[in-house]
């Protein structure tokens, strides 16, 4: 299986390492043609405004939007959640806009407010230890968006069809279960 990781900025190496540890081929996506023949896509954490501007500059926004709209299984983590969203609160930015949620950037605070939490995740038997760094938060979602995990009643892991998005950084832990959820969504198609 070929899993692409948007490689413009952010936690690219960490996601590629998890994909390799699961026995799959990780593809660093920097150009339009890198999207060809992918079985899944990960949009990593980093700085969402920067990633959005670079994706626009490298003419990747529309091709990603098209592939995701066609059903490419996709996981967005932290900044990736923001980019997948149809809207954000605050200043406008470049978005892929396929996941029907509105996201508040840095909802849990600044860098110094970063934290870790054990999450009860729908479909997982044991809690997932999650790392939140300047994390976004889902402030509204369409009726068909499933909340898979929450912190204090606030959604931090959601799924809509073939798309998943996490406020946290699963690639920064030794737990590969969120990535396995993405992989299993490919095999279920």
Active-site pick, 78, 98, 104, 179: 78
Active-site pick, 15, 162, 169, 179: 169
Rg (CA), the chain: 15
Active-site pick, 14, 98, 104, 171: 171
Active site (annotated) includes residue 169: yes
Active site (annotated) includes residue 162: no
The closest of 83, 81, 95, 52 to 159, measured between CA atoms, is 81
Active site (annotated) includes residue 78: yes
CA–CA dist 19, 65 (Å, integer)? 22
**Residue 51 DSSP SS3:** helix
Give, for 131, the enclosing helix (H) or strand (E): strand 128-132
Q: Which residues of 122-137 are buried (b: 16+ CB within 10 A; e: fewer)?
A: eebeeebebbbbbbbb
The closest of 55, 33, 39 to 188, measured between CA atoms, is 39
Catalytic residues: 78, 169, 171
């Amino acid at each position: 299986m070929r899993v692409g990781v948007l490689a413009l900025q952010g936690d690219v190496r960490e996601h590629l390492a998890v994909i390799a540890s699961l026995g799959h081929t990780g593809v660093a996506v920097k150009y339009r043609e890198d999207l060809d023949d992918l079985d899944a896509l990960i949009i990593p954490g980093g700085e969402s405004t920067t990633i959005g501007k670079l994706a626009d500059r490298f003419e990747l926004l529309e091709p990603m939007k098209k592939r995701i709209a066609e059903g490419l299984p996709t996981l967005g983590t932290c900044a990736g959640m923001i980019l997948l969203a149809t809207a954000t609160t605050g200043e406008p930015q470049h978005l892929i806009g396929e996941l029907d949620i509105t996201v508040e950037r840095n909802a849990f605070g600044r860098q110094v407010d970063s934290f870790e939490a054990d999450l009860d995740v729908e479909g997982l038997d044991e809690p997932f230890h999650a790392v939140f760094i300047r994390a976004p938060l889902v402030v509204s979602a369409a009726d068909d968006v499933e909340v898979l995990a929450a912190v204090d009643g606030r959604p931090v892991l959601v799924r809509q069809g073939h798309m998943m998005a996490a406020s946290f950084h699963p690639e920064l832990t030794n737990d590969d279960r969120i990535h396995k959820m993405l992989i299993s969504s490919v095999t279920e198609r």
